[in-house]
């Protein structure tokens, strides 16, 4: 009896311990997945609530949150609602639970929709109440610490609040980014890792990768020389003064040792100048013009456009299979052309058996780059004679390359007077964000259209605009050739009619830059005090069609700017 009592006293605590452990495990397992009761309670108190979103100091679409000493992770979709520079308020329009994850769909009347997903671990979920989770969901994006950086006095590195790496947080100093840089702190490479989001960026990266490998193999780079430092400093100075928002590429300006006169604009921002070409230039303005041409080719994504143009010309699967490898040929030799020969034969040919090389940048893209450089010179009161001097030198170099025996009997096609006269006499109306128009419709978020510049030369009259939401026009379908896009502008002189030039369309993550050509009756008129405009999208007319018979999608924009 005594032995039984002793065994009972031993077994009972063991059973109680096992029972409690099993119960704890069951509770934790249930809690880690958010049971139905928790989902209902959290949804009730979060749906339709207002969430404040503070501007992030970088553009990463993920981060860490902190609750009672435990971290959680959150990620944001690539949405305008998270990529802004102002404090905004958004409404929670939907909530979704998936195990330990909670996704909130947010809505803003101007910026549209975005989704932020919170990923919790079991430790946090098991210890946090429903009210704790609600608080995390509603306050994380609006945490005041998101406006600051946190400097470590020991390492002189500053971090983002959503990307803290040290456990010794008590030593960190909260400050603005400007204060941190004034005190000599450096940004953390993990927190401030630059992310670039652009459509078709992967194609540009492949082109850049191929060209970088070839340059390393054939042409030694002159690092650390006075000329290299001078080139790099001048290039970045020009970027700071570029009159348009930059795409976001990481630019580098490299001097290579070569007897050939070449300049190459490689997608993603690598600009390569040969030492022989740089030494042949007589003034800093000539070198500026050369670098500006390269920047213009990269910012207007000419290599990518030319790649797609060549892609559309492909007729057989054999060429399709070789196309990815061939992408390097459209990188962008815009001064010279001889470099393509030692680096490999041009992959894009005319008829079968035709070995004649093709220009890397088409004349239309060259013309657009020239116009941008001419505009830059006008805005910065620089002598355009230096620009024309550079063009003449490049044309002489192009002519010598075409007559080089390496190319065989090639047709010489250099227009000496046309290109220089154009940059000397082209006239601009640079709007500098002074002409903005808004399209509003109850069925979608509003869209802003900005005039960028207008350029007139002889019978050319082009207007460049930016549309904040490319989905309005569904640009990809426009390139199929089944639709046209017209722009009709009302100003104090009446109506100006413009037709979209699709070759010059440049997309970024959100919007699209469009170039329109004026109708014949408007060839010599600048837009003056525009009040409203309309975009017309429709099917091209036949000879028998009347304008009134056409089915048009019409979007009317009125003078104004979106404010949020």
Is the same domain home to 445 and 407?
no
Query: Distance of alpha carbon 361 from its chain centroid, rounded?
Result: 21
Cα separation of 349 and 364, whole Å? Answer: 19
Residue 16 within a domain: no
Is the same domain home to 413 and 532?
no
The answer to whether 338 touches 404, Cβ cutoff 8 Å, is yes
Is the same domain home to 135 and 155?
no
What's the order of all strands across the beta sheet hosting 149-152? 173-175, 149-152, 157-160, 186-187
User: How wide is the angle at C-alpha 255 spanned by C-alphas 254 and 257, nearest 5°?
Assistant: 140
Is the same domain home to 377 and 436?
no
Based on the structure, what is the number of domains in the chain? Answer: 4
348 φ, ψ (degrees, to nearest 5): -95, 115
Joined tokens for residue 559:
């003078």
Joined tokens for residue 260:
């050939």
Task: Give the length of the chain.
Answer: 564
Residue 90 within a domain: yes
Its pTM stands at 0.83
Is the same domain home to 398 and 268?
yes
* Domain housing 405: 201-425
Residue 192 within a domain: no
Is the same domain home to 182 and 141?
no
Segments in 50-196 forming alpha helices (H): 122-127, 130-139, 177-182
- For 519, residues 6+ apart whose C-beta sits below 8 A from its C-beta are 496, 497, 498, 499
User: How wide is the angle at C-alpha 530 spanned by C-alphas 526 and 533, nearest 5°?
Assistant: 110
Provide the residue-wise pLDDT of the chain in tens; the chain has 564 residues.
Answer: 444 344 334 433 433 333 434 444 444 344 557 889 999 999 999 999 999 999 878 878 899 998 887 889 999 999 999 988 889 999 999 999 998 899 999 999 999 999 999 999 888 888 889 999 999 999 999 999 999 999 999 999 999 999 877 777 788 999 999 999 999 999 998 888 888 899 999 999 988 888 877 777 666 777 788 999 999 999 999 999 999 999 999 999 999 888 888 888 999 999 999 999 999 999 999 999 999 999 999 999 998 888 887 776 654 444 444 444 444 444 455 555 433 322 222 232 233 333 333 345 788 899 999 999 999 999 999 999 999 999 998 888 777 666 555 544 455 555 567 889 999 999 999 998 789 999 998 878 999 999 999 999 998 999 999 999 988 887 544 444 567 889 999 999 999 999 998 788 999 999 999 999 998 888 899 999 999 999 998 876 655 555 555 677 899 999 999 987
Cα separation of 52 and 139, whole Å? Answer: 7
Is the same domain home to 259 and 275?
yes
Is the same domain home to 95 and 121?
yes
3-state SS class at 543? coil
Residue 330 within a domain: yes
């Amino acid at each position: 009896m005594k032995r039984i009592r002793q065994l009972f006293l031993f077994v009972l605590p063991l059973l109680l311990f096992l029972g409690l452990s099993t119960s704890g495990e069951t509770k934790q397992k249930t809690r880690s997945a958010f049971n139905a009761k928790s989902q209902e309670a959290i949804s009730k108190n979060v749906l339709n609530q207002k969430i404040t979103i503070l501007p992030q100091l970088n553009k990463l679409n993920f981060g860490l949150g902190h609750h009672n000493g435990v971290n959680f992770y959150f990620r944001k979709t690539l949405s305008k609602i998270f990529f802004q520079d102002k404090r905004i308020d958004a409404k929670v329009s939907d909530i979704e639970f998936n195990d330990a994850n909670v996704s909130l769909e947010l809505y803003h009347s101007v910026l549209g929709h975005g989704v932020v997903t919170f990923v919790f671990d079991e430790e946090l979920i098991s210890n946090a109440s429903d009210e704790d989770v609600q608080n995390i969901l509603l306050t994380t994006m609006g945490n005041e610490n998101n406006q600051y950086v946190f400097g470590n006095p020991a390492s002189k590195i500053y971090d983002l609040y959503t990307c803290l790496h040290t456990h010794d947080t008590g030593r960190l100093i909260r400050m603005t980014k400007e204060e941190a840089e004034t005190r000599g702190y450096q940004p953390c490479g993990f927190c401030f890792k630059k992310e670039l989001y652009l459509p078709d960026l992967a194609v540009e990266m492949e082109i850049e990768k191929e060209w970088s490998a070839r340059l390393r193999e054939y042409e030694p780079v002159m690092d650390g020389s006075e000329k290299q430092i001078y080139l790099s400093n001048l290039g970045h100075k020009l970027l700071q003064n570029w009159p348009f928002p930059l795409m976001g590429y990481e630019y580098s300006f490299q001097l290579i040792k070569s007897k050939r006169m070449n300049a190459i604009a490689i997608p993603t921002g690598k600009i390569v100048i040969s030492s022989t070409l740089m030494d042949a230039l007589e003034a800093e303005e000539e070198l500026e013009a050369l670098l500006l041409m390269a920047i213009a080719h990269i910012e207007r994504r000419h290599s990518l456009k030319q790649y797609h143009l060549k892609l559309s010309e492909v007729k057989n699967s054999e060429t399709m299979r070789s196309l990815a490898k061939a992408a390097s040929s459209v990188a962008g030799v815009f001064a010279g052309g001889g470099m393509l020969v030692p680096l490999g034969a041009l992959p894009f040919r005319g008829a079968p058996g035709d070995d004649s090389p093709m220009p890397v940048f088409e004349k239309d893209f060259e013309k657009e780059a020239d116009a941008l450089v001419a505009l830059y010179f006008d805005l910065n009161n620089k002598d355009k004679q230096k620009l024309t001097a550079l063009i003449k030198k490049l044309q002489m170099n192009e002519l010598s390359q075409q007559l080089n025996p390496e190319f065989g009997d090639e047709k010489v096609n250099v227009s000496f007077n046309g290109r220089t006269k154009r940059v000397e006499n082209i006239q601009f109306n640079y709007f500098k964000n002074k002409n903005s128009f808004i399209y509003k419709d109850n069925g979608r978020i509003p869209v802003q259209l900005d005039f960028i510049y207008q350029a007139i030369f002889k019978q050319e009259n082009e207007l460049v605009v930016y549309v904040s939401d490319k989905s309005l026009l569904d640009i990809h379908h426009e390139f199929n050739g089944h639709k046209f896009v017209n722009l009709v502008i009302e100003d104090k002189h009446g109506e100006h009619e413009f037709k979209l030039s699709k070759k010059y369309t440049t997309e970024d993550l959100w919007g699209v830059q469009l170039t329109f050509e004026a109708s014949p009756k408007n060839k010599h008129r600048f837009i003056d005090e525009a009040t409203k405009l309309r975009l017309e999208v429709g099917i091209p007319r036949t000879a028998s069609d009347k304008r009134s018979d056409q089915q048009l999608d019409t979007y009317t924009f009125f003078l104004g700017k979106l404010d949020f």
